[in-house]
Structure 1
Amino acid sequence: MVAHRNWLLVSTFLLEALILEASKILTISTLGGSHYMAMSRVSHILQEGGLNVTKLLYEYDYTADFRKEKPSYKVINWSLPEDQQKKFDNRYRLLVEELGHGRFDHHTLVKIHRFIADLCSQFLSIKDIMELLKNENFDLVLFDSIDICSLLIIEKLEKRCVSFLPMQASFMEFGLSSASLSYIPVYGSGLTDQMDFWGRVKNFLLFFDFSMKQREILSQYDNTIQEHFAEGSRPVLSDLLLKAELWFVNSDFALDFARPLFPNTVYVGGLLDKPVQPIPQDLENFITQFGDSGFILVALGAIVSQHQTKEIIKEMNSAFARLPQGVLWTCKDSHWPKEVTLAPNVKIMDWLPQTDLLAHPRIRLFVTHGGMNSVNEAIQHGVPMVGIPFFTDQPENMVRVEAKNMGVSIQLQTLKAETLALTMKKVIEDKRYKSAAMASKIIRQSHPLTPAQRLVGWIDHILQTGGAAHLKPYAFKQPWHEQYLLDVFLFLLGLTLGTLWLLVKVLGAVTRCLSGARKVKQT
């Protein structure tokens, strides 16, 4: 009996191994920066997990800094003809400069998606790559859910897909989540899960504002859809989002607010964490100079670091000069203003090993832009934060950092040396911030499965079961009036009003009858 059971276990393992070995996964990455890094990490984890991974990569200047290591998976690069590429590069640089100078609003976001839609149209016109992707017969496509173009590529390939959301779950459309506006803040609201009456009013109104803005963003792809899909078979983007078998979210409840999730939503916060390596000796020598005071790590993300203004650099440098800690700052020499003298306790470098420095025993504080990947790394190593959010999800991430008491946020528009110095000193000296950061670290690391195990395990699950139909609630197929029980409400309201009307009529008739009877008796 034991031998038979062991044979069954071995047979099951071999069957799973064969299934995984035969499974071909396509990952799509057309966005740069943190999006590129996230999708590269996801591709690597899936490849290491036994899957046959191919990554579709849009190759342009901005991805060059992140492609120094040779990937373990196959990469299909695509780019535009040189004349077209120059036009798109110019548009891209203008958008990045607009972001870097703090001009990020809904209007800018719409322009970004219009740019992506035009680029998407160019890609869908490259017949040889589209044919190559079709002929590969992928079993599954994993895409960055912020990259709307991926949905159209997947629709063309007619493949099952899995979404990877590199931001907070609140960014998902509310049709994809069991959201309650009474305690789940709308994306961009700046609210926490503990709202007073006026907070709930604000959240309720912003829900409709967010929904309208989402529709405007999706409408930027209408021309691309009309150009590349035949009339009568043109997809609706909001419906395509619902086709995803699974939603992986690059967060967890060490950072996010507790909320109900559908079974096909899986949190994988910390997925980008890598094994810690010893830091270079020159950095170790710099840190040693400051003894028990320790050091502060400053990293404001790739886009922000390229477009920091002279005023911001001057104020930050002046703030760092007032502290006893050493400061390691990711800032390129070419961007440093010549008229600003570098503070004696500050060392600037083009690139710093962020993960390794966050794990260093003498780190006291992380000054960050509040990007999801950076916040996740700080949580992984229990480091308190001072956030200087610039755009997109960064303010929302810092709202959660503050709510969890892991750090403090400073508005870019009001950034001054004295305020920044006092804030950093407060977070370093007040032990509550360090304690909260360590508590979040324990929550993150004590999960029974690692983020990589969750990612590969769930992919394996839907490959073996032929999809995730058993995980999707019927609500995905319901029209909105059914989902929110408006038809039931109107029926019950009508029934109640009809009953009241009938009751009034009956009472009126009875009253008239009794009144008539009295008159007869009196006569």
Structure 2
Amino acid sequence: MPALPLLCAFLLLASAHSAKILTIVMMGGSHYLLFDEMSHVLHESGHDVNMLVLLGIPQIPGLSYAGRKDSYRLTTWSAGDQYVSRFNQWFLEQQREFFLGRETFDMFLDLMSHFAQQCEWMMNDVELMDTLRGERYDIAMIDTFNPCSYLVAEKLGLQVVTVHGGNFWNVHQAGTTIPLSYVPVHRSLLSDRMDFWGRMKNFLMFLGSFEAERRIQARFEKAILTHFPAANVSLSQLYLKAQLAIYNADFTLEFPRPLPPNVVCVGGLLAKPAKPLPQELEDLVQAAGEDGFVVVSFGSMLSSINLPGLLREMNAAFARLPQLVIWRHLPSHWPRDLHPAPNVRLVEWMPQNDLLGHPKARLLVTHGGFNSLMQAVYHGVPVVGVPLFGDQFDNMVRVEAKGLGLTVDVTQIQALHLSHSMETVIRDTRYKASALTLSRMHRSFPFPPRQRLVQWMEHVLQLGGGEHLRPFGTQLPWYQYYLLDVIIALLVAASALTCLLISILRACVGRLCRAGKVKEE
């Protein structure tokens, strides 16, 4: 074969496996960390990746949001320092409410209102939109937690792959089937083993979820009317246009459920083989002896607890443990009149994955974020969870159902109760055995999460979309999807047949009666 055709074939093959991808993340914390990892993985696979980050959202303290060196590109947008300052102050107050056990749906709607306002301002930035549009991306990979991601991708005219940062709570955004008899809905606090009343609760909460979704979407109506005045655009329609739905979920912890072919699970992307600890930290954990150490972290955003009473109870609980306690908490936010227990070490930042992978790790005390839980699963470390908001409550239901650990209600944190829960999980070998079983299970799944992410993305890219994976049912009206038209038609037919039979019987009985009277006469 001549050299020129060979070169052309090589270039065509290379271009088929390389694409321009825009990743959009409009939420901080674990959402940003997940998109940072996915953007880096796709970059390492040969794709040109640019990540659009919305600043002025709940951020990770101390993180510069400058992206990785020699990796994907980064574009940031902010609503301005004055607004960001007010927003962060507002979110700080929300954190306080979380730790007081006062999380409500209205607080979540307030967050959505902030997102909608920022979304409108962001799409008003003509220079930003024109610059992104001029890049001519092949596809957008978006974080679904903030619905603005859908609107930005639509404004840029891009096909989307959606990324769902937690468990299967946002079923309205993916059009997945929910067998309510054994699949618990969001915040039901049910497992897949439901009795009659559990199924009743699950069904009623499922019906209520439609109203909740309606109220969420209502927050974005103004932004939609402003930026799509001539188009019939709605979030419900945009949700169902996704070429692929990627879930940060894993059936090591998640309850089994049916999924359509356009849903891919990549839970565990942030769980990796442990690297050696920094020498100072290694010396610290070695000094802990055979008792080992406990890792305490309430997530990437909640690195500080601004409630002195709660800190005193937790500090007293940790003091009762023989283990070293490595606690992620900003020392600058620690009360001056409270001395950390002798076995407690406060750190501004910790290599959590590497600590959990250390042979002396005995327990993770966490808020129940999925990424932290999957790191615990990967390394076989049991858990005590204190859920605060969002899907963390459901996550901890799964942790208890799988035997990985125990849940402590944040409103019931007292030194004796918390220490008893931690001692139980550390000393009862059943929790460690379950953690090791789940670890083996997760590691033995066919294809690691990284490989699943890359291969499915490239599959969709090479085919120009994922229409062949999307069930047609997502395009059906709700009454057809649930066969209500068929059921009504059958009921009408059965009723008509019943009425006909009754009429015939009445006619027959009438004739027999008349015939009997004639004979008597």
TM-score when scaled to structure 2?
0.95
The aligned amino acid for 2:36 is S
Query: Is the alpha carbon distance of 1:205 and 1:100 closer, same or farther for their aligned partners in structure 2, counting shifts above 3 Å?
Result: same
Alignment-derived partner of residue 25 in structure 1: 21
Quick check: 72-81 or 253-262, which moved more? 72-81
Alignment-derived partner of residue 425 in structure 1: 423
Per the TM alignment, residue 210 of structure 1 is displaced from its structure 2 partner at its CA by 1.6
| Residues 509-520 of structure 1 aligned to structure 2 (within 5 Å) | 509-520=507-518
Measure, in 2, the Cα distance between the counterparts of 1:371 and 1:424: 18
Is the 8 Å Cα contact of residues 166 and 250 (structure 1) preserved in structure 2?
yes
Alignment-derived partner of residue 147 in structure 2: 148
Query: Is the alpha carbon distance of 1:518 and 1:174 closer, same or farther for their aligned partners in structure 2, counting shifts above 3 Å?
Result: farther
Is the 8 Å Cα contact of residues 170 and 185 (structure 1) preserved in structure 2?
no
Per the TM alignment, residue 70 of structure 1 is displaced from its structure 2 partner at its CA by 2.9
Measure, in 2, the Cα distance between the counterparts of 1:33 and 1:306: 14
1:79-120: CA deviation from partner (whole Å, max 9, x where unpaired): 234455455455444445444544311110110000100010
Matched, 1:76 2:75: yes
Counterpart selection for 1:45 from 32, 41, 48 = 41
Is the 8 Å Cα contact of residues 56 and 87 (structure 2) preserved in structure 1?
no
Alignment-derived partner of residue 189 in structure 1: 188
Per the TM alignment, residue 59 of structure 1 is displaced from its structure 2 partner at its CA by 3.1
Is the 8 Å Cα contact of residues 272 and 375 (structure 2) preserved in structure 1?
no
Query: Is the alpha carbon distance of 1:85 and 1:317 closer, same or farther for their aligned partners in structure 2, counting shifts above 3 Å?
Result: closer
Per the TM alignment, residue 16 of structure 1 is displaced from its structure 2 partner at its CA by 4.2
Alignment-derived partner of residue 206 in structure 1: 205
| Residues 31-430 of structure 1 aligned to structure 2 (within 5 Å) | 31-60=27-56, 62=59, 65-66=62-63, 67=65, 70-71=68-69, 72-173=71-172, 176-231=175-230, 233-430=231-428
The aligned amino acid for 1:17 is A
Measure, in 2, the Cα distance between the counterparts of 1:319 and 1:96: 22
Query: Is the alpha carbon distance of 1:421 and 1:87 closer, same or farther for their aligned partners in structure 2, counting shifts above 3 Å?
Result: closer
Is the 8 Å Cα contact of residues 366 and 378 (structure 1) preserved in structure 2?
yes
SS of the aligned residue for 2:420 comes to helix
SS of the aligned residue for 1:303 comes to coil
Measure, in 1, the Cα distance between the counterparts of 2:443 and 2:9: 30
Identity %: 40
Per the TM alignment, residue 389 of structure 1 is displaced from its structure 2 partner at its CA by 0.8
SS of the aligned residue for 2:282 comes to helix
Query: Is the alpha carbon distance of 1:413 and 1:94 closer, same or farther for their aligned partners in structure 2, counting shifts above 3 Å?
Result: closer
Is the 8 Å Cα contact of residues 101 and 308 (structure 1) preserved in structure 2?
no
Measure, in 2, the Cα distance between the counterparts of 1:12 and 1:100: 60
Query: Is the alpha carbon distance of 1:279 and 1:435 closer, same or farther for their aligned partners in structure 2, counting shifts above 3 Å?
Result: same
SS of the aligned residue for 2:259 comes to coil
Per the TM alignment, residue 76 of structure 1 is displaced from its structure 2 partner at its CA by 1.4
1:43-92: CA deviation from partner (whole Å, max 9, x where unpaired): 11111111110111123483573336634111112223445545545544
SS of the aligned residue for 2:194 comes to coil
The aligned amino acid for 2:416 is E
Query: Is the alpha carbon distance of 1:430 and 1:306 closer, same or farther for their aligned partners in structure 2, counting shifts above 3 Å?
Result: same
What is the RMSD of the two structures over their aligned residues, measured on CA atoms?
Answer: 2.1
Alignment-derived partner of residue 506 in structure 2: 508
Is the 8 Å Cα contact of residues 225 and 234 (structure 1) preserved in structure 2?
no
Matched, 1:459 2:443: no
TM-score when scaled to structure 1?
0.94
SS of the aligned residue for 1:517 comes to helix
Per the TM alignment, residue 521 of structure 1 is displaced from its structure 2 partner at its CA by 1.3
Measure, in 1, the Cα distance between the counterparts of 2:352 and 2:76: 28
1:255-299: CA deviation from partner (whole Å, max 9, x where unpaired): 100111000000101112344221122222222222111111111
Measure, in 1, the Cα distance between the counterparts of 2:171 and 2:10: 36
The aligned amino acid for 1:184 is V
Measure, in 2, the Cα distance between the counterparts of 1:429 and 1:63: 34
The aligned amino acid for 1:20 is H
Is the 8 Å Cα contact of residues 96 and 306 (structure 2) preserved in structure 1?
no
Is the 8 Å Cα contact of residues 370 and 388 (structure 1) preserved in structure 2?
yes
Per the TM alignment, residue 464 of structure 1 is displaced from its structure 2 partner at its CA by 1.1
Alignment-derived partner of residue 6 in structure 1: none
The aligned amino acid for 2:131 is L
Per the TM alignment, residue 357 of structure 1 is displaced from its structure 2 partner at its CA by 0.2
1:189-233: CA deviation from partner (whole Å, max 9, x where unpaired): 0000000111001101111112211111111101111111114x1
The aligned amino acid for 2:17 is L
The aligned amino acid for 1:129 is L
1:436-484: CA deviation from partner (whole Å, max 9, x where unpaired): 1111111111122111111110011011112111111110110000111
Counterpart selection for 1:481 from 479, 485, 493 = 479
SS of the aligned residue for 2:131 comes to helix
SS of the aligned residue for 1:56 comes to strand
Is the 8 Å Cα contact of residues 169 and 391 (structure 2) preserved in structure 1?
no
Query: Is the alpha carbon distance of 1:280 and 1:85 closer, same or farther for their aligned partners in structure 2, counting shifts above 3 Å?
Result: closer
Measure, in 2, the Cα distance between the counterparts of 1:457 and 1:14: 20
Query: Is the alpha carbon distance of 1:329 and 1:175 closer, same or farther for their aligned partners in structure 2, counting shifts above 3 Å?
Result: closer
Query: Is the alpha carbon distance of 1:37 and 1:102 closer, same or farther for their aligned partners in structure 2, counting shifts above 3 Å?
Result: same
Measure, in 2, the Cα distance between the counterparts of 1:388 and 1:332: 19
Query: Is the alpha carbon distance of 1:227 and 1:95 closer, same or farther for their aligned partners in structure 2, counting shifts above 3 Å?
Result: farther
What stretches of structure 1 of length at least 5 have no aligned partner?
4-8
Measure, in 1, the Cα distance between the counterparts of 2:85 and 2:441: 47
Measure, in 2, the Cα distance between the counterparts of 1:69 and 1:462: 26
Quick check: 92-101 or 334-343, which moved more? 92-101
Is the 8 Å Cα contact of residues 167 and 250 (structure 1) preserved in structure 2?
yes
Matched residue pairs, number? 515
Measure, in 2, the Cα distance between the counterparts of 1:318 and 1:395: 25
Is the 8 Å Cα contact of residues 140 and 159 (structure 1) preserved in structure 2?
yes
Quick check: 29-38 or 106-115, which moved more? 29-38
1:307-346: CA deviation from partner (whole Å, max 9, x where unpaired): 3411221111101111111111111111212222211111
The aligned amino acid for 1:19 is A
